Amino acid sequence: MTLSNDEKHLLIQELADLKQRHRSLDIAIDDFAEQLNANQLEVRRLKKQKLRLKDSISRLESRLIPDLHA
């Protein structure tokens, strides 16, 4: 399936947004984990959220890569 230029542009924007959210979560996890009395349940929740974002990023990236015909 070939994407139109508009579809590609929207996917690229969404991909940039997801990557920014992923980076922000990474920083938040690091900051939160450095606290002496960090709530480990909250840290795990943030890490799971970060993994879901990473999966979404991977799916979008694979949609943007054109199919290779062998």
Amino acid identity, position 60: L
Q: Mind listing the pLDDT tens digit for each residue in 24-61?
A: 999 999 998 888 788 889 889 999 999 999 999 999 99
SS (H, E, C) 7-70: HHHHHHHHHHHHHHHHHHHHHHHHHHHHCCCCCHHHHHHHHHHHHHHHHHHHHHHHHHCCCCCC
The predicted pLDDT at position 68 comes to 54
- Domain ranges for the chain: 7-63
The predicted pLDDT at position 70 comes to 46
